[in-house]
Amino acid sequence: MSGFVFSEKPIRIERGEGPYLYDDSGTEYLDFGASYAVTPVGHCHPDVVAAAKDQLEELMFVQASYPNDARDACYEKLADVAPEGIDNVWLCNSGTEANEAALKFARSATGRQKIVATQRAFHGRTMGALAATWKQKYKKPFEPLAAGFETVPYGDSEALAETVDEETAAVIVEPIQGEGGINPAPEGYLEAAREACDETGAALVFDEIQTGLGRTGDFWACEHEGVVPDILTSAKGLASGLPLGGTLCRDWIAEDAGPHGSTFSGNPVVCAAAAATLDVLVEDDLPAHAAEMGEYLHEEIEAEDLPIRDVRGRGLMTGIEVKRGSNRLLRDLALNHRILALPAGRSVLRLLPPLVIDEEHVDRVVGALSETMGASTES
Ligand SMILES: *Cc1c(COP(=O)(O)O)cnc(C)c1O
């Protein structure tokens, strides 16, 4: 028997350490996609491994209605790093579930139905989150999806102000679109979204599943513009690869969030891994390091004068728009340079390395890009 949803790559990975992955013959790969931003503190960080192991031996699971130290520590640490005013945490098992909860909470707390999302957004693949996701290819075979969704062009403050009204329960936005091509919100857009929600009573939801946890140089990307949402969602690297999503919200949402729940919510082992991950991010000041390394990466890419259309992003969330498709480039990087990266659509190469990388890793990647792109323009 074999899995059938994902197309498999010709490299079998067995082990991970820091920014590296190793295949079954011991070959080392530099993981510059962090398996979709899932390892912010690096693969198998010893503190995270130790915390999960200890908890595994103590108690693997207890239902969320019984308080537990590992879960409480995770709640507390999340509240510590959350933007001011966001003090409530709901834990689940993935990004799409975190967004699903965000949209349910917003509908319940506002008593309204309409949800406004943006073009080229990605919010997940369950029937609700998928309705807020843009790409037709992901949606069409599964329709009908949840109803009540409207879409506006990303970055257009006027369109947002015109569409958000007294019937709107929520506006859901990625501060920098990930899957959609690494598109940073233009300056003032998040603020405009905040205003549109304040004027109408809608809940502002920031999907920080890819942008959060230090990746963009701040702990949350919304901090860059000083805009605080009503609900903030996190997942991906939150527990270094153990499945965890979080829906963080203000009191007015939590007080009237409605009857939501999930059996695995706040699993103690996953919570212990998350608490350790958050500790490493804070103690090693990894958001600041990501800002510095991101700047260096952008400088080096520009200095190299690569044959590209654009480079965008912030911190260690970088998109390089290439002239031809990104597939062949990704393959060359993996097989000839032992560097693993990601696509974002057909023409964008997406770099989301662990935040622990150093200049030597950046140099290696930029050198490989230069060689690979040089080679692909000649042939
Ligand atoms: C990955 C991602 C999701 C979905 O997370 P899953 O854990 O795959 O369900 C939602 N929003 C954004 C911005 C993401 O990057």
**Same-domain check for residues 134 and 32:** no
Q: What angle do CA 110, 114, 118 make, to 5 degrees?
A: 120
Q: How big is the chain, counted in residues?
A: 379
**Same-domain check for residues 161 and 255:** yes
**Same-domain check for residues 142 and 257:** yes
The protein residue whose alpha carbon is closest to atom 5 in ligand 1 is 95
357 is in which domain, residue-wise? 13-44+285-378
125 annotated as belonging to a binding site for a ligand:
yes
313 annotated as belonging to a binding site for a ligand:
no
In a domain, 5, yes or no: no
pLDDT at residue 191 is higher than 60:
yes
Burial-class residue 191 by CB neighbours within 10 Å (0-12, 13-18, 19+): middle
Q: What is the mean pLDDT of the chain?
A: 96
Q: Which contacts (CB < 8 Å, 24+ apart) does range 363-370 have?
A: 363/300, 364/30, 364/337, 364/339, 365/30, 365/32, 365/297, 365/339, 365/341, 366/297, 366/300, 366/301, 366/304, 368/333, 368/336, 368/337, 368/339, 369/301, 369/304, 369/306, 369/320, 369/333, 370/304, 370/306
For ligand 1, the distance from its centroid to the CA atom of residue 379, given in whole angstroms, is 36
For ligand 1, the distance from its centroid to the CA atom of residue 122, given in whole angstroms, is 7
**Same-domain check for residues 39 and 84:** no
210 annotated as belonging to a binding site for a ligand:
yes
- Residue 332 is a catalytic residue: no
Please indicate whether residue 378 or residue 46 has the higher confidence score (pLDDT): 46
The set of protein residues with a Cβ atom below 6 angstroms from ligand 1 is: 94-96, 99, 122-124, 174, 178-179, 207, 209-210, 235-236
pLDDT tier at 379 (50, 70, 90 boundaries)? very low
Tens of pLDDT, residue by residue over 233-266, are: 999 999 999 999 999 999 999 999 999 999 999 9
Cα-Cα-Cα-Cα torsion 245, 247, 248, 250, nearest 10 degrees, comes to: 180
**Same-domain check for residues 60 and 31:** no
Question: Would you say the pTM of this structure is higher than 0.85?
Answer: yes
pLDDT at residue 368 is higher than 50:
yes
- Residue 236 is a catalytic residue: yes
Other C-beta atoms lying within 10 Å of the C-beta of residue 327: 12
In a domain, 338, yes or no: yes
pLDDT at residue 375 is higher than 60:
no
- Residue 264 is a catalytic residue: no
From the list 17, 98, 25, 36, the residue with the least C-alpha distance to 340 is 36
For ligand 1, the distance from its centroid to the CA atom of residue 315, given in whole angstroms, is 19
**Same-domain check for residues 29 and 86:** no
The protein residue whose alpha carbon is closest to atom 6 in ligand 1 is 95
**Same-domain check for residues 22 and 85:** no
How far CA 117 is from CA of 109, 132, 311, in Å, comes to 18, 6, 25
Task: Count the domains in the chain.
Answer: 2
Task: Tell me the CATH number at 319.
Answer: 3.90.1150.10
Q: What angle do CA 285, 244, 137 make, to 5 degrees?
A: 110
**Same-domain check for residues 266 and 293:** no
pLDDT at residue 183 is higher than 80:
yes
> Among the three residues 283, 298, 319, which one is the final residue of a domain in this structure?
283
Catalytically annotated residue among 32, 105, 206, 207:
207
In a domain, 6, yes or no: no
**Same-domain check for residues 217 and 98:** yes
Q: What is the per-residue pLDDT for 377?
A: 47
Mean pLDDT confidence for 172-183: 98
**Same-domain check for residues 269 and 319:** no
For ligand 1, the distance from its centroid to the CA atom of residue 36, given in whole angstroms, is 9
